[in-house]
Amino acid sequence: MKEILFISDLHLSQEYPDSLARFENFSSTLPKEVGQIFLLGDVFDFWIGDDGAETLGHHKIEKQLHQISSSGVELFFLPGNRDFLVGQDFASRTGCKLLPDPSIIEIGEKRVYLTHGDALCIDDVEHQQNRSVLLSSKWRKAFLDKSIEDRLDTALRLRQKSEESKQAKPMSIMDINQPHLEEIMRENQVRTVIHGHTHKPAIHAFDLDGIEARRYVLGDWYTQNSVLTFRNGEFILE
């Protein structure tokens, strides 16, 4: 069985050349053992619609993704709270298959619950309220109907507002809510969850109704690559 990689929170943007270089290096040196890559959100620092990729300078990243997918690696894109506007045009340009958040995949016998992760942070009520507005088809349509300049303006404003409100919040409410997670795991009959968003890479092992459960948290790419690899029947966080 080929290797499966999970990455998230690259926050790619022309403002952070280091992360861009890191991703370029990652995509051009992929080992041939890799069969699938799951991008679990916030790959881009923000997204203003598929017709705005050029404006954001993301043409090169799209080309790199296309190279990966055309080399035979299956690429999946599950959106995050920053790049939830990624759509079908992006998917056809890059060869990514879009996945809804959450998605359940099967790896061997294992059912694995994939999510960006912000939906699990239910203690952050403000974020959840904003999330339901931004993910509504009404907001999406109204936003995408605007000019690219207006959209860029709004996106930058939203990003700043989110940064400011994050600084005012206690760390604890910005992490996942464990009882809520366990409820979701029971409902979906999964014992393995993979997510990003919190930028706190870790492997959490816990007992769920007498069965060993695992939550894998992917790290961001601000200072180094963070990759979860499924290799020889095991998950390895590097």
Structure-block tokens of residue 161: 């507002």
> Contact at 8 Å (CB) between 85 and 144?
yes
Among 52, 79, 80, 102, which residue interacts with Mn ion (rule: CB under 5 A)?
Answer: 80
Q: Which is nearer to Mn ion, 42 or 124 (CB)?
A: 42
Question: Is 171 exposed, middle or buried (CB count within 10 Å of its CB: 0-12, 13-18, 19+)?
Answer: exposed
Q: Which of 19, 81, 94, 229 is in the footprint of Mn ion by CB under 5 A?
A: 81
Which stretch, 14-22, 81-89, 127-135, 228-236, contacts Mn ion (CB under 5 A)?
A: 81-89
Q: Where are the alpha helices (DSSP H) in 95-172?
A: 125-134, 137-144, 148-168
| C-alpha Rg value of the chain to the nearest Å | 17
Q: Which of 197, 199, 230, 235 binds Mn ion (CB under 5 A)?
A: 197
User: Shortest gap between Cβ of 189 and Mn ion (angstroms)?
Assistant: 26
Strands of the sheet containing 34-39, edge to edge, are 96-98, 74-77, 34-39, 3-7, 228-231, 234-237
Q: Which stretch binds Mn ion (CB under 5 A): 35-43, 104-112, 137-145, 146-154?
A: 35-43
Asked if 42 is part of the footprint of Mn ion (rule: CB under 5 A), the reply reads yes
Q: Work out how close the CB of 19 gets to Mn ion at its nearest, in angstroms, rounded to a whole number.
A: 15
Separation CA 198–CA 194 (nearest Å): 12
Taking the least distance from each CB to Mn ion, the nearer of 58 and 197 is: 197
Is residue 45 within the footprint of Mn ion (CB under 5 A)? no
Q: Which residue, among 61, 30, 27, has the nearest Cα to 44 in the 3D structure?
A: 61
Window of 26-34, 40-48, 103-111, 145-153 that interacts with Mn ion by CB under 5 A: 40-48
Contact flag: residue 13 with Mn ion (CB under 5 A): no
Is residue 22 close enough to count as binding Mn ion by CB under 5 A?
A: no
